[in-house]
Amino acid sequence: MTVHSPGAMTDAPQDAPQKSAGRPGKTVSPTGPGPQSPRGGRTSLPSGWLPYLLVGPAVLALATLLLYPLIKNVILSFQDINKVEFIQRKYPFAGFSNYAELIADADFWTVVVRSFAFTAANVVLIMVIGSLVGILLNRLGKKMRLVLSMALVMAWAMPIVASVQVFRWLFDEQFGVMNWVMRSAGFAGYEQHNWMQTGLSTLTIVTILVVWGSIPFVALNMYAGLTTVGAELYEAARMDGANGWQTFWKIVFPNLKPFFLITTFLEVIWVFKAFTQVYAMNKGGPDRASEILPVFAYVEGQSQAHYGLAAAISVLTILILVVVMSFYFRLILKQEEEQ
């Protein structure tokens, strides 16, 4: 039925929006309900910005604490700054003279070879002994495993400087425990034996310290990895007559190969930059015979006041480590592709 009003005669359009029942005056959109605005009328950020907002503070902190000092260090390596220039606040540009001096310096290459030998010896001992301790953890009973795990964690958590002081006391010339042990075992010449009289003996003591402090990390990770190897694999190996070494090489190592690769990668980096242990033990002595690259850079910069040269040493140290690690990183990526 069409309603006619005076002076106007119109028909109601057939496609006009109808009022919803029970809610007069509210129209329904043909395309459905529109997007609801958040509480308070504020608009939300696009979802794609959320990861960047979460990562932003960490990136800013890294750029402030790491990137900026690295850039300043690279700039410093191209400047000839010694004690006089540092006091006068003069920063003369030296080009590649610092790098040329280092490359022509036989002492620098001696320290490089020493650093690689020190790193290789430590990493091999850490991985072998740590893996054996991890296997032992996997085979011990619950109570003994807990005791050994707590001992490993306590050794791992011990501050480096405190552990260095303990080792200095153990190998002390007059009151050291090692001299007493050697005398008690019947060896002569250990009344006041100086265990740090040569660079090799000093680095040997540092190696014992570094290995002792690094074994817990490898052992606990090794134990965690062994828990992922199924018991049926060990049972099958025993039924085939495999001994302990064959079981490790055929069962454990293939399943934990990613663990060995990444753990070795981390240990190489950690040992290569082991500054505190070497410097706190004997300050790179005697006669700078136990210096590795980080200590060599520190002594040149702080003791000798060759700041530009020390910066060049640190830059070359980073470059050497990056080149060496690039080959190892390619091995890790190849292993991931094979999986």
Quick: pLDDT tens for 171-217: 998 888 999 999 888 888 888 888 999 999 999 999 999 999 999 99
Q: Is 249 helix (H, G, I), strand (E, B) or coil?
A: helix
What pLDDT shows up at residue 227? 86
What pLDDT is stored for residue 104 in this prediction? Answer: 92
Residue 211, Ramachandran bin (φ over 0: left; ψ between -120 and 50: alpha; else beta): alpha
Nearest CA to 203 out of 113, 130, 317, 266 is that of: 113
- Chain-centre distance of CA 258, in angstroms? 16
- How does DSSP assign 226-293, residue by residue? HTTS-HHHHHHHHHTT--HHHHIIIIIHHHTHHHHHHHHHHHHHHHHT-HHHHHHHHTT-STTTT--H
DSSP bridge pairs for 79: 93
Sequence-distant (≥ 6) Cβ neighbours of residue 203 within 8 angstroms: 114, 118, 278, 290
What is the per-residue pLDDT across 144-166, written as a single tens digit (0 to 9) for each?
999 999 999 998 889 999 999 99
Q: Which residues contact 3 (CB under 8 A, 6 or more apart)?
A: none
Tell me what pLDDT residue 281 has.
92
Q: DSSP character for 304?
A: S
Mean pLDDT of 289-298: 92
Predicted local confidence at residue 40, as pLDDT: 52
pLDDT at 244 over 70: yes
Work out the average pLDDT over 312-323: 90
Give percent of the chain above pLDDT 70.
85
Mean pLDDT on 120-145: 92
> What is the pLDDT averaged over residues 254-283?
88
The per-residue pLDDT for 262 is 85
Res 62: pLDDT: 84
Q: What is the pTM of this model?
A: 0.77
pLDDT for 238: 81
Q: Which residue has the higher pLDDT, 180 or 237?
A: 180
Q: What is the mean pLDDT of residues 135-145?
A: 89
Q: Measured between alpha carbons, how far is residue 37 from residues 24, 41, 228, 332 in Å?
A: 23, 6, 49, 49
Identify the pLDDT of residue 303. Answer: 82
Q: What is the pLDDT of residue 4?
A: 46
Residue 65: band (very low, low, confident or very high) from pLDDT cuts 50, 70, 90: confident
Distance CA 111, CA 118 (A): 10
β partners of residue 5 = 8
Closest CA to 294 of 275, 318, 269, 312: 275
Task: Write out pLDDT tens, residues 10-50.
Answer: 444 444 444 444 444 444 444 445 445 445 555 555 567 88
User: What is the model's pLDDT at position 28?
Assistant: 47
pLDDT tens digits, one per residue of 86-96? 777 888 888 89
Query: For the residues 259-277, what does the mean pLDDT come to?
Result: 89
